[in-house]
Amino acid sequence: MATNIAGRRYRAWYAMLLRLYPRPFRERFGEGMAQTFHDLCQERKGAKRGLFGLALWIFCETLVGIVKENTTHMPQLGKTMLRVALGALAVLMVPLVASQFVEDWNWPVGAFVRVYVLFFGTGMVFALVARRTDAWSYKAGVGVALVSGFALGWSNMVHVADSGNPANLMYYSVLGVGAVGACLARLKARGLALTLFAMAATLALIAVALPSGAPPYLARNMAIGHGVYTALFTASGLLFRHASLSGLTQTPE
């Protein structure tokens, strides 16, 4: 009896889910899909097994199909935006979930929105720049550069907010060098390699020149941080150099 009620409920929900398909698809296959779901439920019921696991799997599987069908006739840019938006949402789940467990992590809703915009923006830049070429080293270079730049900007923003030391704003000059260099290089691999090396050099210069005034244990952590970021920017530069030398980079006409 309970299985019958659950079965009816799941079928009603499934019928609602099918309404999310594009109308032409739904009109052609909706009835068949609903019938197939009904048949699967009947099979489960006949085997005296619960319906929850089956319903959950079918709902998830159908949801993937719905996204696929709705994006099939979408322009490429629209598909890219949708993918990046969903990816950014998935990444946003990390701070969203972590804030529930970490004490003193009380971001207002606006902060989450700003962080989402940052994730989405970074993702879109990667998607748009990386699709200019099929060269793996160029794509990897863009990825490493963006993640490193994003992490540097983020950690610096947090550090400035915590310490209130305006001298730390100098770190943004590294990102400035990157932005100006990328524009001047017109995203060509050779120019980007030089830009990333310049960013690494700027960061190293700041690390040496800027007096931190921090206690020794903090100074050691900062030195490690500087080293890691410098290495990442250098690695990204080397990847661009590899792309440039291999001659695989193609710019759109």
With 0-12 CB in 10 A as exposed, 13-18 as middle and 19+ as buried, what is 53?
Answer: exposed
**69 counts as binding another protein under rule CB under 8 A:** yes
Q: Which is nearer to another protein, 39 or 169 (CB)?
A: 39
In whole angstroms, what is the distance from residue 173 CA to residue 157 CA? 13
Token representation of residue 115: 């962080």
**61 counts as binding another protein under rule CB under 8 A:** yes
- Of 51, 55, 66, 182, which one interacts with another protein (CB under 8 A)? 66
Q: Which is nearer to another protein, 69 or 159 (CB)?
A: 69
**HSE-up of residue 67 (Cα within 13 Å, Cβ side):** 11
- Of 2, 5, 23, 68, which one interacts with another protein (CB under 8 A)? 68
Q: Which is nearer to another protein, 58 or 174 (CB)?
A: 58
Report helix, strand or coil for 223: helix
Report helix, strand or coil for 185: helix
In whole angstroms, what is the distance from residue 157 CA to residue 187 CA? 27
**163 counts as binding another protein under rule CB under 8 A:** no
Residue indicated by tokens 């440039």: 244
Segment contacting another protein (CB under 8 A): 22-30, 167-175, 194-202, 233-241? 22-30
Token representation of residue 191: 């120019």
- Of 8, 19, 28, 73, which one interacts with another protein (CB under 8 A)? 28
Q: How many CB atoms lie within 10 A of CB 163?
A: 13
- Of 6, 15, 20, 40, which one interacts with another protein (CB under 8 A)? 40
Segment contacting another protein (CB under 8 A): 53-61, 108-116, 135-143, 206-214? 53-61
Residues contributing to the site for another protein (CB under 8 A): 25, 28-29, 31-33, 35-37, 39-40, 57-58, 61-66, 68-69
